[in-house]
Amino acid sequence: MSANSHAKEERDAAASVPRAAVSRAAPSASAPERIEDRLARSGGALELLRVPAALFGALVRARRAAYDRGWLSTTRLPVPVVCVGNLTAGGTGKTPLVAWVVRALMARGFRPGILSRGYGAAKGEPNDEARLLAELCPGVPHVQDVERARGGAALVAQGCDAVVLDDGFQHRKLARDVDLVLVDATRPWGLAADERGRAVKALLPRGLLREPPSSLARAHALVITRCDAVPAAELASLERELLVHAPGRGVALARHAPRAWIDERGTTSALAALRGKRVDVVSAIGNPAAFERTLVGLGVELAEVRRFPDHHRYVEADLEGLGGLGAEGRVLVTTQKDAVKLAPLGARFQALAIETEFARDAGVLEALLDALPRAGERVVKLPSRRKLRD
């Protein structure tokens, strides 16, 4: 068997683990309970949050209508903008898809730049996604600015002729040529299902939806991520539900394919290197359960698991008693997104490198990128600095 075939078998095995397989690796009490774990429960005082959720929904729909009818203005850059976003507050796999889009644009002769809000960043520093994207897309300019129109103008000034807007589906002030919306197959509406397979589907603050599902209608294409982590019947049902909200839109299926282990020094190891080993797991990402399922599928035995809130800033106390900072005989395993924050602490770890791999209809996205206007095909005057502040 070739090395490539063997690696593919390992990746497929990582994807075939059912969601219940990580139940025995419950989060450690050393990490604070995540808000989405609380919101996933039903009944009790939590349901009182449906009142502010209804108010939030009314405001979101009013804002959406104002943009749809042209009552709220947008700013258009003189270069094409491709947005990668989602409906929920939480992880759907945007960062690896942003890297995929950047590479696809470069293959088409564009000089892309990445634009994001910079959520969770310390003042004057890039956030964890920006640091990871710097590794995944070396040399590609990345501007983080709450005012996305101003940030996009800065990228154009740096010579970029295309902009990839990370997590900008709700930021309609900046016009875009392509809207790609990601939906996580394991948690389509943000919250995990309970033991009976039922999930809370609600807007913030009762649930994790930033917008109602009907907003999917303005997407140019949908990407169902982690498509390999749910049964085929469940995946087909989700796709039908999405097309009710976004009729006629193309739907691509993608998975997070493990590629290798990377340690704190940047040394790469094959996926088989940790098979059968007992490891500690630490993460501060949007969907930690999906990451843990992947580890189980790679043949890794989970010892202690610590889940921290997304964008958590680690301190040494967070790792006390874990492999990598004292626990003998155990390896500390984490994500690439967390690795950029753990390395400065002097921790030893193995980070799992993943890439977006399409299982179906990648051509939908390819066609949208092929249709992007080139420099000079669209002349748009950049807004004044004062307008960018408004």
Statement to judge: residues 295 and 154 lie in one domain: no
Alpha-carbon distance 302 to 295, whole Å? 8
Statement to judge: residues 32 and 172 lie in one domain: no
Answer positive or negative: Cα dihedral of 319, 320, 322, 325.
positive
Tokens (6 digits) for 56: 């939030």
| Residue spans of beta strands (DSSP E) within 292-349 | 301-307, 331-335
Judge contact between 283 and 291, C-beta under 8 A: yes
Statement to judge: residues 304 and 252 lie in one domain: no
Average pLDDT over residues 28-49: 84
DSSP state of 209: B
Judge contact between 100 and 358, C-beta under 8 A: no
The backbone torsions φ and ψ at residue 199, rounded to the nearest 5 degrees and listed phi first, read -120, 145
Statement to judge: residues 108 and 216 lie in one domain: yes
Looking up residue 229, the CATH number of its domain turns out to be 3.40.50.300
Residues above pLDDT 70, as percent of the chain:
86
> If you count them, how many residues does the chain have?
390
Statement to judge: residues 237 and 310 lie in one domain: no
Average pLDDT over residues 195-200: 84
Statement to judge: residues 163 and 235 lie in one domain: yes
Cis previous bond, 205, omega within 30: yes
> In this structure, is residue 8 part of a structural domain?
yes
Average pLDDT over residues 291-305: 96
Q: What is the DSSP string of 279-297?
A: EEEEE-SS-HHHHHHHHHH
> In this structure, is residue 49 part of a structural domain?
no
- pLDDT tens for 114-159 read 999 988 777 778 888 999 999 999 999 999 999 999 999 999 999 9
The number of distinct structural domains making up the chain is 2
Alpha-carbon distance 303 to 338, whole Å? 18
> In this structure, is residue 47 part of a structural domain?
no
The backbone torsions φ and ψ at residue 213, rounded to the nearest 5 degrees and listed phi first, read -55, -25
CA dihedral 231, 233, 236, 241 (to 10 degrees): -100
Q: For residue 28, what are the domain limits?
A: 3-38+258-354
Alpha-carbon distance 123 to 108, whole Å? 35
> In this structure, is residue 330 part of a structural domain?
yes
Statement to judge: residues 80 and 190 lie in one domain: yes
Tokens (6 digits) for 36: 């989405």
User: Residue 242: enclosing H or E segment and its boundaries?
Assistant: helix 232-245
User: Residue 370: enclosing H or E segment and its boundaries?
Assistant: helix 362-370
Average pLDDT over residues 265-277: 96
pLDDT-derived band at 28 (thresholds 50, 70, 90) equals low
Statement to judge: residues 232 and 345 lie in one domain: no
Statement to judge: residues 262 and 328 lie in one domain: yes
User: Residue 355: enclosing H or E segment and its boundaries?
Assistant: strand 350-360
At residue 119, the pLDDT reads: 83
Statement to judge: residues 237 and 104 lie in one domain: yes
Helices (H) and strands (E) in the chain, counts: 11, 12
Statement to judge: residues 265 and 207 lie in one domain: no
